Structure 1
Amino acid sequence: MNSNQLKWFYLIILSIIWGSSFILIKKGLIGLTPLQLGALRIIITGFILLLFGLKNLKTIEKSKWKWIIISGLLGTFFPAFLFSFAETEVDSAVASILNSLVPLNTILFGFAIFKITTTTRQTFGVIIGFIGTAILIASGKSLNPDQNYFFAGFIILATVMYAINVNIIKKYLQQEKPLTIAVGNFAVIIIPAFIILLFSNFFSKATFENEHLYKSIVYVAVLSTFGTALAKVMFNKLVQISTPVFASSVTYVMTIVAVSWGLLDGEKLGLIQIIGGIVILLGVYLSNRK
């Protein structure tokens, strides 16, 4: 399989894995708090990665550790909690559509921070994407009045962090192995995650008396093993063999997967919301089109 075929293979597999992550977060929140879910997700993933890749840590140059730490915080640590809190109020399908802002933000921050040139068409695509976001959030408030769509801001903030992380990997960690980057990320964030879990009342009697706890832990375990550990390594590889914008375009297909899961789970998605989602994807398409 040549490099061009390989990048499409990774893109499709990641879309299926990450597209299923939103419904797994939703199910995990039935028996866990957002802090508990986010912390458990990081701890389980970190344990898996360190188990198989601990020896890779010694290959990381001292000069690279700064970027490994920043990448771990922006690419995994904070988004794990932001999405958990967001999905307490926002449907998983809507969360996945908003997540498609990642490629647009990748272009914005690639230009603003990393001095990666952009075109007029890409700028136009970014503007269209944010118009779609406004439509999606505004229509969501009327369709689901019981949900607090201000929590959508958590998802938008997470997409900004993802976008910065993609550019960091491409610019500063290009020569590192994908597994090495992932193991380095989690070696840094696993301890803070465990501290958060300790202070989240996870080990209290009330938590273990929750009838939904163990089922939620299974959902988080699946999310951690495939949606974070395996996908993290694959995504790092995808960034290295393609471009930041192509890699972040995984949000195209994963949106279809996630919305399908949401509808199967009984979530509401109105016509205006669908239009808003299409506008976002149109913006992403214009920004990525050669």
Structure 2
Amino acid sequence: MKKTNELLTKNSMVCLLALICCLLWGSAFPCIKIGYKMFQIASNDTASQILFAGARFTLAGILTIIIGSILGKKALVPQKGSWHMVLALCMLQTVIQYLFFYVGLAHTTGVKSSIIEAVNVFIAILVSSLIFHYEKLGKEKIIGCMIGFAGVVLINLNGSGMEGGMSLLGEGFIVLSTVSYAFSSVLIKKFSQKENPVTLSGYQFVAGGLIMAAVGLGMGGHLSGFTPASAALLVYMAMISAVAYSLWGILLKYNPVGKVAVYGFMNPVFGVILSALLLGEQNQAFTAKGLLSLILVCLGIYMVNKTPRCSQR
């Protein structure tokens, strides 16, 4: 166990596993929008968007529990005193985050969403520093947050190839989803000291997915267009969550929040590139404003994590 813990704190291993997570998460932006087309979900069909998300995360939870049980050679079941943790993560990481995310993504582009999502890195570090006191908040981190937010604001300015501006149902909901995710990231670090992070991920996904599916059905949502291709996409999207969140939770358990969060800058990088390639959004991804926004976000995250290792607790 000690060797495993040491391995998971090595910079090279943290980098490798974190980049795998970010690549998977980056692919989620275009996959969700492709899924809307495959399952014939209109941008104003909120009920079906929520149902779609519920189906994805219920399946993700089931896959996480099955895979975790096989790898651990025993049934993956939360401890008796861990159910309140599962419920808290279920609401923050799945229900609230993805209610806002799925609706927001239907009203904006994959490129803009992927860059706005980078805000969760700054919020997670602020929450970790100011509320949970896991690490200190220095001048570099404050400057980094300001630079990163400047990139988010820039991507939403009208003109120069960036159409649409900012709307509450679009970019506004994406921002709210990042806030929810940031809080859940810090809670994962806290809860994983007492419970297996893979167990937490699996059961909170099942609970959150079922809640979202019930809400979507209750609102009159429906899914159609099931084909081998659309089913495969749904399974892949479930695996994104099952693999990425489990790995990320393990990294947060053994490392400072800032050390892991720094790799979040690759989410918008992968998201922008994959959205450009798969959704034909090259006009946004490769304009001067789009690239400058991405650079500012990445620079901000670098500044946030530039603080000396001794400042972390």
TM-score normalised by length of structure 1: 0.86
What residue number does 1:100 align with? 118
Question: What's the offset of the Cα at 1:274?
Answer: 2.2
Specify the SS of the correspondent of 1:20: helix
Question: May I ask how many residue pairs the two structures share in their alignment?
Answer: 280
Question: What's the offset of the Cα at 1:52?
Answer: 4.3
- Measured in 2, the distance between the counterparts of 1:220 and 1:105 equals 29
Specify the SS of the correspondent of 1:249: helix
Please tell me whether the aligned partners of residues 67 and 173 of structure 1 are also in contact (alpha carbons under 8 angstroms): no
Please tell me whether the aligned partners of residues 28 and 217 of structure 1 are also in contact (alpha carbons under 8 angstroms): no
What residue number does 1:224 align with? 238
- Measured in 2, the distance between the counterparts of 1:188 and 1:98 equals 27
Structure 2: gaps (5+ residues): 42-47, 70-74, 308-313
Identity %: 20
Structure 1 residues 185, 79: closer, same or farther in 2, change over 3 A? same
Q: Which residue identity lines up with residue 258 of structure 1 in the other structure?
A: G
Structure 1 residues 90, 175: closer, same or farther in 2, change over 3 A? same
Aligned partner of 1:9 among 7, 10, 16? 16
Residue 289 (structure 1) aligned with residue 289 (structure 2)? no
Aligned partner of 2:55 among 35, 40, 62? 40
What residue number does 2:44 align with? none
Question: What's the offset of the Cα at 1:53?
Answer: 4.9
Structure 1 residues 140, 247: closer, same or farther in 2, change over 3 A? farther
Question: What's the offset of the Cα at 1:193?
Answer: 2.5
TM-score normalised by length of structure 2: 0.81
1:99-146 Cα deviation digits (max 9, x unpaired): 11121111211233213421111111112222221111124797223x
Q: Which residue identity lines up with residue 16 of structure 1 in the other structure?
A: L
Question: What's the offset of the Cα at 1:266?
Answer: 1.2
Please tell me whether the aligned partners of residues 130 and 137 of structure 2 are also in contact (alpha carbons under 8 angstroms): no
Please tell me whether the aligned partners of residues 65 and 199 of structure 2 are also in contact (alpha carbons under 8 angstroms): no
Question: What's the offset of the Cα at 1:271?
Answer: 1.6
Residue 244 (structure 1) aligned with residue 262 (structure 2)? no
Residue 73 (structure 1) aligned with residue 80 (structure 2)? no
What residue number does 2:31 align with? 24
4+ residue runs of structure 1 moved beyond 4 angstroms? none
- Measured in 2, the distance between the counterparts of 1:53 and 1:219 equals 22
Question: What's the offset of the Cα at 1:278?
Answer: 1.6
Structure 1 residues 222, 113: closer, same or farther in 2, change over 3 A? same
Tell me how large the CA RMSD over aligned residues is: 2.4
Please tell me whether the aligned partners of residues 100 and 174 of structure 2 are also in contact (alpha carbons under 8 angstroms): yes
Please tell me whether the aligned partners of residues 61 and 203 of structure 2 are also in contact (alpha carbons under 8 angstroms): no
Structure 1 residues 187, 143: closer, same or farther in 2, change over 3 A? closer
- Measured in 2, the distance between the counterparts of 1:191 and 1:88 equals 21
What residue number does 1:193 align with? 212
1:202-237 Cα deviation digits (max 9, x unpaired): 55xxx54xxx45344432221112x11111211111
